[in-house]
Every structure is written in C-alpha cells, then in structure tokens.
A and B are shown apart, each in its own frame.
Chain A
Amino acid sequence: MQRGEIVLEDAWRSFSPRGDRGRTLKELLTSLGGRGGRGGELPPTHALAGVTLRVAPGETLGIVGRNGAGKTSTLRVLAGIIPLQRGRAACGGRVATLIDLASGFGREFSGRENIHVSAALHGMTRAEVESRIGGIIEFSELGHFIDAPIKTYSSGMLVRLGFSIAAHLDSDVLLIDEVLAVGDEAFQRKCLRHIRRKIEEGVTVVLVSHAPGTIEAACRRVVVLDSGRVVFDGPTAEALRFYHRMLGAEDATQAAAREARDGAVRLREAALQDGDGRPRQVFAPGEPVRVVLDLEARADAGDVTLALDVRRADGQTVFRSRAPVPTSGGGGRLVFEIPRLALLGGDYDLPIGIHEPGDTAPGIDRLLSFSVTSSDEAEGIADLRGTWTFSGAPVEVGP
C-alpha cells in the first residue's frame, strides 16, 4: 500500500438503533463467545452498505450527502475509530483526523497543557510537540489566552485550538469532517488556505461537508453518498450537480401537491447556466448567471407572474424579483440574466413560483440551488468588491 493511498472495499457497517443502553449482559457474553450475536427487534441501520472507494495519493476527495447518508461513518471508518463489519478499509501512511475539533479538551487545563495531550493523542512524541508548540500557538492566534484554562474559551476559540493542533500533524492522509463550518469566517479562510497548502504538498485529503462551496474550493473529485451507498463518483462540478438534482428531486416531491393543482401554466424545465449557456451549479463571485425557465401553457392560460427568490441557506431572502409573463399567447422560454453575481461564498436556494391571477397562497413550483465559492479578497455575503487607492495610487487587496 502506497503512502497516502486510501482503499475501501465493499465496506459494510451498521449500527443498532437502540444504541448501547439496550445492550444486555447476556448479549454481550454471546458476542464475546463468537462474532455477531446482536439481537434486537429493530433492524440495524446501515451507515455503510457496500462502499467501494479508491483514492490515489495526493488526490482530494469530497464526500457529500444528506444527514445520515454515511459521510461521517465513512470518515470514522477510514480513521480507524470504527471497525467495519465486512470488507476492507486501509489508509497508507500517517493519518490525521479532524473530527469534532472543539471536543476532548480538559476543561480545567490551559490551552498549552491541552496542546500536549491533544497532540499526543494524535500520536505525536514529546520531541515533536516541543518543537511545534510555538507554531501551533501562533497559528491559533489565541495570544496570551493560551495559558488560560480552556473553560474560559468560547467555542470559536476551542475550534481555533483544535485546528491549530491538527494543522501541525505530519500526515499523508488528512480526514476532515465538517470542521470548517464552525469558527469565525476569517479563521475558516485561514484553515482553508492551510488545507490547500497541504494539498499542494501532496497530502491526500478527504473532506466531508454540507457546504458545496467548501467542497468545490478544495476537491477535484466528489463522492455522493445516499443511504450508505455511493450513488455518484466523479469530477466535482458534475457530482455537485448530481447532488443538487438529488436534493431538488426531494423538494419537488414536497411541491408535488402544488404541481398537481394542474395550473394552466407549468414549469417544464428550470436550469442555471453560466455566461456561455453551459449548465452550472457552482459559481465564482462576479460571474454571470442565467436562470433559464421553459414554460408550458395550455390554450386557456392567462398571463401569470413569475416570482424568483434567492435565499441563503438560513432562509434569509437576499433577493426577490417578479416578472409578468404574457403566457396567454402560449408557452416559451423565460430567461433571467444576472450579468454579475454579487454574492460571496455560500450555499443558496433559488425557489421559483408561478402565480396565476386568483392564486391566494403563492407557492414554490421548483427549487434550484447553487453555491458560490469563497474569495480570498472579501468576506461577507454581498460582493461589493471595488478598488482601493491611497493618495491616488492603487492598493492591492491581498488575501
């Protein structure tokens, strides 16, 4: 097995939904006597149901999927935290695991003392910890708080500490679980830069995230998991499109009642495209975006109003636009063209609703989603990038 290589072969892992508390001593003794022996009335849930995955050294792999799709279990299996019930899992070389960065610290002890325990937990020796502790403290930007007890830290500070330790581990394989979703944005950016540097150094990275933006920024290949199975494995852009379609299909079933109302005007096709008319799900700030909607109209159709929203993942509407569409003359292609996408990194929903005259409750006919990659030049949600000058001379905006 090569350093940095990852192999999962027909990996199976299920969990008893009753958890440990339902386990009886009798069951335990039977499982001591031989393999298996797990009884129980409820069927076990399959976190991994025959996952086969091969990651070459230096490759960057993203794993996406809904909650409970098996993303975290896959990562824990690769990290050696959870054993497989069937199949094979192996990682070549040293593995660094970034799971739950803010947990596992001794609350009574200082950040510095916790660095020692935590680094040792990841397999560092005394000499390694002592030579790196300066760098770890500096990376964490915790300053003099490093000597204060952890119980005085905010959750953001804990994540800073956790990531800083993990960042200084020697590893051939880096397994990262959702950790970038916490902490302040500036530090998140720093972590992402650090991960990119590791990638450049040839470290194999597996990144689990709910945020397609993060995945898009770091990974060249993405695996989509659903119910413990690999349902897609391919280049990032295609995989994210697949994933959005998979989620969109669900939202469409939620909106089924509305579609079934059999309106005179129906949305046959809805897609996002880039400036050249190619379908896209992930955009960079400032790129042109086209929303292309194919409308079908029955002969008796009147004019409708089309409502288009852009919402942040937390539900906040960032933008809303309504357009009266003269569908009384028949169906056609409606295009909404955004010359410059003025959004910064994040995941967005784009609900589309057709409102006919007399509709009392406006609804959603289709839900598109897209992600915007983060930029080193700016933070926030709106892309208001401009130019700086100092005494008339242009100023370079650095990361």
Chain B
Amino acid sequence: MRRYGYLFEQLVRRELRQKYKGSFVGVLWYLVNPLVLMAIYGVMLGPLLKAVSQSDYPIFILVGLLVWLFFAQSLTAASTSLVDQQALITKVAFPRETIPAAAVVVQLVPFFVMLVVLVPISLGIRGNATAWLLLLPVVIVCLFALTLGFSLIAAALHAYFRDVQPIINAALLPWFFVSGVLFDLATLPGLRSHAWLRPLLRWVNPIAPFVSAFRALIYGGRFPGVATIVYVAAVGAGALALGVGVFRRLSPELAVVI
C-alpha cells in the first residue's frame, strides 16, 4: 500500500493539471464559483426578499459554501472517478481506493484556497478571533473523513450501477437547501409552530452539523457546542469506516463490472 504513495501523488497532480490547464488565472477560478453563488443568494435572500437578516450575510453564506462545495464537488467528482479510469482498472492491479481518494484530495485545493482567503477577511470584518479557531483543523479532518467516506461509497456503487451519479446530482440541490448554507437551521421562523422539525433538520442531515461547526468557529468566533463537536467527530469517523467497508466489499469485482 505504501508503495502506491507515488501513484496517489501522480493521480492528484494529473487531475489538478487537467482541471485548470490553459487557463491563465488558474487558481483564482477556485474562488469564482463560491463568489457568484454568494452574490446571488446574498442579494436575493437578503436585501431583496428580506428573508434573512444575518449580519455580514455574505461571510455567513461563504462559510456555508466552503463546507458544502467541498462536500458536493468531491462527491460529484469521486462518483464517476472509477468509471473514468476504467482503462487503468482493467489492466493493472493496484489499490483501487487511490482513484476516488485522489478525486477528493484534489477538491482540498479549492477548499484551502477559499479558507485562506475567507478566514482573515471574516476575522478582520467581524473582529472575533478567539482561541476556539484552534479547533478548526480538527473539524476540517472530520469533514474530510465524512466526504471521503461518502465518496468511496458513491464511486464503488456507481461502478456497479450507473444510475448512482444522476441520483447524486438530483439529490444535491435539495440537499443544499436543507443543509443550512443560506440560513441558520436552528432559528428558522417556521420552526416555532413545528418544533419537532428542529432536531430533524439539525441532526438527521449529516452535513448540517459540519456547516454549523465551521460557522461557529469562523463566523461566530465561538465554541460550536459539545453536541456538535461530538457529532462531527463520530459521524466523520463512522462515514469513513462505512465507506472503507463498502469499498473493500465492492472493489475486488471492479475490473469485471466496470
């Protein structure tokens, strides 16, 4: 397995070079997508619809997008990764997990580019740098574990069952709206008359606690709460364990089904 470290590195590099090859603004493109989304949602839901009245709403949205885009884009890229690399899988035996894992690691680049730009701006504007920020690396590791776990499952299932990718694509948009990227799930006005929905919204969707943890640290400058941190760690580890388990189970036959 260690022997394949260089393969992993090569797959990541190849993907990165392919992605923004020939575009001369290069890495800046990583910021365009979240900024456009932020501008549209910020203007529509804020001043126009007056649905959300968060202070520094653009930063509020960007923190959510940071988490969501990493998760969603990793899942999208990983789900087709094995099928895209069919030629490699049918000709050599190598650890198949390197392919979806490389697809997820590639998404870390836009994630960190955005993080490096966003955190100083948020701290500067909101002036709430606290020691809790030290928790950020822990939460990032948990998010990576969650995303890798989901991506391994999606990639292996898609190789067997080509409807998985379209299903994921169809699910991502509604999923985005219930993940609390654009508003705080805990304080939605409608929840006052439907209180039973509150725990469902907050805890059933695995990505929602991650959004709120990142937001507490970067935007709120406060501790996300013991429940959220425990949830994030447990779900991250659980998803990764499940992902590895499912992948191990399905991967031996990949060269046959793909």
Contact = CB atoms under 8 A, between A and B. Distances in A.
Contact of A117 (B10, B163, B257): B10
A103 B90 CA distance: 10
A95 B162 CA distance: 32
Interface string A120-131: 111111100100
Interface residues of B, number: 36
Contacts of A95: 93
B256 A28 contact: no
Given A82-B255, A108-B21, A117 B93 contact: no
Contacts of A122: 92, 94
Nearest to A162: B91
Contacts of B91: 81, 97, 99-100, 103-104
A286 to B, nearest CB: 39
Nearest to B8: A120
B254 to A, nearest CB: 9
Interface stretch (B137-145, B228-236, B245-253): B245-253
Contacts of B7: 117, 120-121, 123
Interface residues of A, number: 35
A79 B4 contact: no
B11 interface: yes
B161 A120 contact: no
Contacts of A23: 160-161, 257
Contact of A80 (B6, B11, B93): B93
Nearest to A24: B161
Contacts of B249: 32
A193 interface: no
Contacts of A108: 18, 21
A83 B258 CA distance: 14
B93 A97 contact: yes
Interface string A88-131: 00000001010110011010110001001100111111100100
B88 interface: yes
A276 interface: no
B50 interface: no
B3 interface: yes
Interface of A: 15, 19-21, 23-25, 28, 32, 76, 79-83, 95, 97, 99-100, 103-104, 106, 108-109, 113, 116-117, 120-126, 129
Given A23-B160, A99-B92, 14 more contacts: A15-B256, A28-B161, A81-B91, A83-B252, A95-B93, A99-B90, A100-B90, A104-B85, A109-B14, A109-B18, A116-B10, A117-B14, A121-B7, A123-B3
